[in-house]
Amino acid sequence: MAKYTISVNGQQHTVEADPDTPLLWVVRDYIGLTGTKYGCGMSQCGACTVHLNDQPIRSCVTPISSIRKTAKITTIEGLSANTDHAVQQAWISEQVPQCGYCQSGIVMSAAALLRQKPAPTDADIDLALSGHLCRCGTYPRIRKAVHKAAKMMNDK
Amino acid sequence: MSTYIATRREFLKIMSHAGAVLAIGIGPAGSLLAGPRKLSLADGDAAETELNTFILITPDNKITIFNPRPEMGQGTWQSMPALIAEELGVTFDQIDIRITSGDRRYGTQSVGGSGSVRFSWLPLRKVGAAAREMLIKAAAKRWNAAEADCYTEKAKVMHRPSGKSFSFGELVADAAALEVPKEPKLKDPKDFTIIGKAIPRPDVPSKVNGKAVFGLDVKVPGMLYATIQRCPVIHGKVVRFNEAEVAAMPGVKAVFKTERKMPHKAVDAVAVVATTYWAALKARQVLQIEWDNAGYENISTEQYFAECRAKAAQDGNSYPDVVGDVKSGFARAAKVLDAQYETPFTAHAPIEPMCATVAVSGNKAEVWAPVQGTTDTIHEVSEYLGIPRENVTMHNVFMGGSFGRKGYLDFVLEAAAVSKNVQAPVKLIWTREDDLGNGPYRPGMLNVVKGGLDAAGNLIAWEHKIIGASIKHQVFKEDTSKVADDWASETIDQATSPYVIPNRRQAFNLNDTPIPIVWWRSVYSSTNAFAQESFVDEMAHAAGKDPMDFRLEMLKNEPRWTTLLQFLAEKSDYRAQRRAGKAVGIAIAHSFGSTAAYAVTVSKKDMGVVIEKIVGVIDCGQYVNPDTVKAQTEGNAVMALSAALKPAITFAGGEAQESNFHQFNLLRLDETPPIEIHIIENRENPGGVGEPGFPPLTPALCNAIFLATGKRVRKLPFDLGNPG
């Protein structure tokens, strides 16, 4: 066990954990942010996606010991203050989620995509989001919602 | 508006703080809310005559509607309150929604069989209408006005002539003292402002900001975490394990032999309980168990399907709806075709794996779990622990997907056993490997079909035999070896497949398996329709007829089917596309009270095809939310593509060969073609929505593939790049 100080959603947290503890379980069980989900534990489904310095990563395969003290971690809870990120608004507008379990991770990846590519093509969306699994089958709505979010951001 | 999940304690707190409340119910609820096909594991819901409490109105006009149907993505968080709110006269932004906690006065509190809207359609509307009538009566009395001059709107009773109004809260004390009307007048559907409208689902915001509480997210004071190692060879027994070594691992609180209690069988397992989930998982990695696999190490799906094929020539047990005489029909036929269609075992694989939090203390238990049946869970936990039903407190939470899986409560009972052992609250989480390796699964099936055409190309004889495992037989221990399993015939029996064929027979032939099985989205319809609708297509081609026309000829007496197919033809531009040489495959199937059909357009590419577009049409009668109907049907199309094109679950040497999503891969966004769903508008009784969109997709795709490539797909899964 060792002590780690990490910054999550702008707040410093010090946790005592095994070096190999995945960031996923640190944010969920130690810090209490349960919006980030477990789905496979091997980077296959994307339910655990968070941002590390604005880049999407799979927290289920990211050991706590690999996170620098200066790194900025953002989880779904920290994406916006009032559920008003364009991606969240577009997701609500298109009624994307069904069970909703995988959506935190997909929303995080979509937000990262739009930060890099404000007007993504379908191919960009494929590339950015095909690492995610949604068993309810919301993919057609996800694609529409990403385009809508891009438009909302560009219209601002 | 909140999408908060009430606990029973909190419910009582609301009740005690509320002052006067209006508690409206229905009765006898058990009979009104029960569906014809019970998908729960136990009958925990005997007919009840007490009033149920679905609506709470406080004097300060806070309105709470209780949703009796657990939410797994199918939209009950919107559809159930909508039924009550429509009749009551409130809008969604005026209500809090809470899930019921298993109190028997609410009647059946389970979901399955695409039944929520179908079976709550009248009972929950009556709940809302009864409350409306009581509030109006109370207001009319105060105004000394005629009830007929009053109506409700936005949580107020309005007096039409004077424009005066009372909020519901102002009337609740008076209204609560009135008798509950037994047969309240329901609204005319033309006056609906909520039912039938695409009203946003109130749970959606909480599902894009991380606030929704799923089973995985439950946290209770003093909670420990558990992981369980079950035998990789299904049903193996524990001989010994390195208890001391595992117990010495950091954070570990206990290591002990436990069991996985399935409905038909309890099997050995070893539990590891620790202060964090990661500590439990790490300790499990050093766990070494010696298993006794005698009798189980030869279980394989290859052998299972060989046994099914060996029974292909047998008659099997006929379903009662035999028409004419198939033997003489085939004897008279000018052309006879036969074929075998094989569908694999497969896993539900909801992205939230099985998980449950249970606190057993003495002869009491408290359960927090994402399950399809709240009342079923209370019943099973009380039976399993041997404690009175009243001693089990249940908190249902959002399911992170289910597809039938979370109506099988082995994981809740496992958590109960572990909590009982350590006498502390325990959260058990299955890993993905636990999920894919242990099932239960959709049973693999072999469909044997035979058809006979007369010289004019009319289908005059038809036989459809399904061979495989029976859920009723394994899960419910009913003997289906001598009689046809009446759960297994949907989409192929006369009641659900009204093709007029003068000689027709359907049969079931049991091939039992030790592999755990259970219902999976659309159950046997998911496999039956593939065989039937593919083979109808084979017969159409053999008759030299267009597959759409061939079907329409046999559906002349079925106006709803005919309308649906013609609507599909129009929406998919079927005729024009076909004339232009495009490969458009169609299929239609009825399941869970609704009929759905697809037209799938493919184009040839190298050895196989690419899917260009999917157009679907569903006739589900009256619906609550058209956007939910579309969402469910889109989801069904995607799940069907996954089941057709992505890996199945296979067993060899008694072990599942697929352990995680790298092997049991699912369809992904880049592989999903454009999908367009249309709804038939009518005033028929509500049908199901969660499953009927699944069965016809795969045969429609395979029928398109045949047109494009000449290859007939008769075994799932297959490769789009090289089918057949």
Compare all CA atoms of chain B with the CA of A39 and give the residue at the minimum distance.
B351
B633 near B619, Cβ under 8 Å? no
Decide the pairing of beta strands B55-57 and A72-74: unpaired
- Distance (Å, rounded) from C-alpha B319 to C-alpha B37? 17
Nearest to B413 by CA among B41, B138, B61: B41
* Chain B 395-454, residues with CB within 8 Å of chain A CB atoms: 398-403, 429, 431-432
Q: Is the ipTM above a cut-off of 0.90?
A: yes
Distance between A13 CA and the closest CA of chain B, angstroms: 17
Distance between A53 CA and the closest CA of chain B, angstroms: 19
Nearest to B630 by CA among B207, B198, B206, B194: B198
CATH class of the domain at A2-77 = alpha beta
Task: Look at residue B107 in the predicted model and tell me its pLDDT.
Answer: 82
Q: Do A140 and B211 touch (CB under 8 A)?
A: no
Region B552-559: mean pLDDT is 97
Confidence of residue B108 (pLDDT cuts 50, 70, 90): confident
Q: Do A132 and B73 touch (CB under 8 A)?
A: no
The answer to whether residue B426 scores a pLDDT higher than 70 is yes
Cβ atoms within 10 Å, residue A55: 10
Q: Do B209 and A37 touch (CB under 8 A)?
A: no
- Distance (Å, rounded) from C-alpha B582 to C-alpha B604? 10
pTM recorded for the entire structure: 0.95
**pLDDT digit string, tens, across residues B489-500:** 999 999 999 999
Coil, strand or helix: which one is B447?
Answer: strand
A110 part of contact set with chain B, CB < 8 Å: no
Contacts of A149 in chain B (CB under 8 A): none
* Chain B 347-366, residues with CB within 8 Å of chain A CB atoms: 348-353
- Distance (Å, rounded) from C-alpha B156 to C-alpha B61? 9
Q: Which CATH number fits domain B215-295+354-429: 3.30.365.10, 3.20.20.10, 3.40.50.300, 1.10.760.10?
A: 3.30.365.10
Contacts of B401 in chain A (CB under 8 A): 98-99, 101, 135-136
Buried b (16+ CB within 10 A) or exposed e, A82-102: ebebbbbbbbbebbbbbbbbb
Region B219-241: mean pLDDT is 97
The answer to whether residue B45 scores a pLDDT higher than 60 is no
A2 part of contact set with chain B, CB < 8 Å: no
A86-155: which CATH topology? DNA polymerase; domain 1 (1.10.150)
> Would you mind telling me the total number of residues written for chain B in this entry?
724
Confidence of residue B106 (pLDDT cuts 50, 70, 90): confident
Task: Look at residue B27 in the predicted model and tell me its pLDDT.
Answer: 41
Region B207-226: mean pLDDT is 98
The answer to whether residue B51 scores a pLDDT higher than 50 is no
Measured in degrees and rounded to the nearest 5, phi and psi for residue B420 equal -60, -40
Task: Look at residue B48 in the predicted model and tell me its pLDDT.
Answer: 25
Q: How many CA atoms does the CB half-sphere of B339 hold within 13 Å? A: 20
Task: Look at residue B10 in the predicted model and tell me its pLDDT.
Answer: 40
Compare all CA atoms of chain B with the CA of A34 and give the residue at the minimum distance.
B217
- Distance (Å, rounded) from C-alpha B551 to C-alpha B707? 17
- Distance (Å, rounded) from C-alpha B698 to C-alpha B333? 29
Q: In this structure, what token pair is assigned to residue B333?
A: 């036929």
Does the domain formed by B301-346+441-709 have CATH 3.50.50.60?
no
Region B589-604: mean pLDDT is 98
| Nearest CB to B207; choose among A1, A38, A97 | A97
The answer to whether residue B468 scores a pLDDT higher than 60 is yes
Nearest to B492 by CA among B444, B535, B556, B538: B535
Would you list the domain boundaries of chain A? 2-77, 86-155
Region B355-370: mean pLDDT is 98
Confidence of residue B184 (pLDDT cuts 50, 70, 90): very high
**pLDDT digit string, tens, across residues B201-212:** 999 999 999 999
Region B645-673: mean pLDDT is 98
A16 part of contact set with chain B, CB < 8 Å: no
Cβ atoms within 10 Å, residue B552: 17
Amino acid present at B98:
R
Q: In this structure, what token pair is assigned to residue B517?
A: 């099985």
The answer to whether residue B41 scores a pLDDT higher than 70 is no
Q: Do B210 and A77 touch (CB under 8 A)?
A: yes
Distance between A31 CA and the closest CA of chain B, angstroms: 12
- Distance (Å, rounded) from C-alpha B528 to C-alpha B39? 19
- Distance (Å, rounded) from C-alpha B156 to C-alpha B187? 17
B69 near B118, Cβ under 8 Å? no
B285 part of contact set with chain A, CB < 8 Å: no
Q: Do B210 and A143 touch (CB under 8 A)?
A: no
- Distance (Å, rounded) from C-alpha B609 to C-alpha B621? 35
Q: Do B666 and A133 touch (CB under 8 A)?
A: yes
* Chain A 39-78, residues with CB within 8 Å of chain B CB atoms: 39-42, 44-45, 47, 75-77
Which among A58, A93, A99 is the top mutation candidate for probing chain B, defined by the most B β-carbons within 10 Å of its own β-carbon? A99
| Nearest CB to A44; choose among B206, B632, B660 | B660
A96 part of contact set with chain B, CB < 8 Å: yes
Task: Look at residue B24 in the predicted model and tell me its pLDDT.
Answer: 53
Distance between B163 CA and the closest CA of chain A, angstroms: 36
For residue B584, the Cα-to-chain-centroid distance in whole angstroms is 29
Q: Which CATH number fits domain B8-209: 3.30.365.10, 3.40.50.410, 1.20.1050.10, 1.10.150.20?
A: 3.30.365.10
Region A110-114: mean pLDDT is 98
